[in-house]
Amino acid sequence: MKFNLHKQLNKARLGQLFTAHGVINTPCFMPVGTAATVKAMSVRDLKEANSQIILGNTYHLMLRPTAERIASLGGLHKFMNWDGPILTDSGGFQVMSLSKLRKISQEGVKFRSHIDGSLHNLTPERSIEIQRLLGSNITMCFDECIEYPSTWHNVKKSMELSLRWAIRSKEAYIEREGYGLFGIVQGGVYEDLRIESLAGLEKLDFDGYAVGGLAVGEGQEIMFQVLDYIGHSLPQNKPRYLMGVGKPSDILGAVERGIDMFDCVLPSRSGRNGQAFVRKGTINIRNSRYANDEGPLDSQCNCYTCVNHTRAYLHHLVRSGEILGAMLMTRHNIHYYNDLMVAIRADIEKNQLSEKHY
């Protein structure tokens, strides 16, 4: 997988990542399509919102409809009719946050499904196999996601386990042109453990490097402190991915600290719950102040929702529980996030990265 770094403004980077399903301009945002769908968004909507790449999830897809079924139907791209790049996360976070009665060992994780209680065993080798069956362009190595806060000793033990799993993930991965495997830097909020994790991962020469274990309750200030010492230490010639982040201010701050790629459920989840991201912050469309508002969600936005519908109409839809309300709000939010990344890339190009667009 080829990555070209075109320009750097302080620590902020402008680049391109070349995959078998297209070129990704970075910094970029990846809408989260957990179960082979970005909730309330069609593939056409995603393309019209200028999405470059979407994210799928190993944990959810292995449970239903299963990776083997998706593979038999032509892979995840064909299954969901998305012809652009796809990144799949390894399932480690969902095993921690969703599964029942999980048991972690050197071999992997045994857990019961949150759907039906069925017993499953997820190992580094199985996680990589699932992602290969799905056909994802960017595969994530299997890691353990530890809860926050955790003691230094517990985080160290978890980080060392993740390093051992990274080695096995690398050994199980089958290289193909236009596809890549990313390592995940762990270590919680402890600088020495983060540096140790990165050193171990660099020896394996992954195609990209992610920062995991953040946006789990530590707050923006601590997250930025971690990125201040680990962001610029990540390999210069590889894409850098901050997992599960976040709010527009989180993204801008992380870009300023050298991060290239982001994903988060926030724009789609917020849209389904009546919150819109606009250039002056956020608005809760449920608020009665919008009942007679004939303006668009965001006067500077050219998305389908803003061009065609008023705040008053959206207020009515959301307050009435109409499915269309969730669809239109989500469509705007995904478009807003992609506009945000376009503006950030333009600012880096012009040597003037700032918050004025956001």
- Helix 152-172 vs helix 124-134: angle between axes, to the nearest 10 degrees? 50
Smallest Cα–Cα separation from 36: which of 143, 139, 135?
135
| Cβ contact 280:249 at 8 Å | no
Distances in Å between the alpha carbon of 182 and those of 41, 127, 139, 257? 27, 13, 6, 19
Whole-number Å distance between alpha carbons of 56 and 131: 9
Over the range 70-101, which residues count as b (16 or more CB within 10 Å of their CB) and which as e?
Answer: bbeeebbbebbebebbbbbbbbbbbbbebbee
Q: Catalytic residue, from 45, 260, 263, 298: name it.
A: 263
Examine the residue annotation and report whether 260 is marked as an active-site residue of this protein.
no
Smallest Cα–Cα separation from 84: which of 131, 18, 40?
18
Smallest Cα–Cα separation from 142: which of 196, 194, 92, 197?
92
Q: Catalytic residue, from 45, 89, 339, 347: name it.
A: 89
Whole-number Å distance between alpha carbons of 278 and 257: 24
Examine the residue annotation and report whether 192 is marked as an active-site residue of this protein.
no
Distances in Å between the alpha carbon of 283 and those of 31, 276, 298, 315, 330? 20, 5, 10, 11, 13
Give 261's strand partners: 28, 241
Active site residues: 89, 263
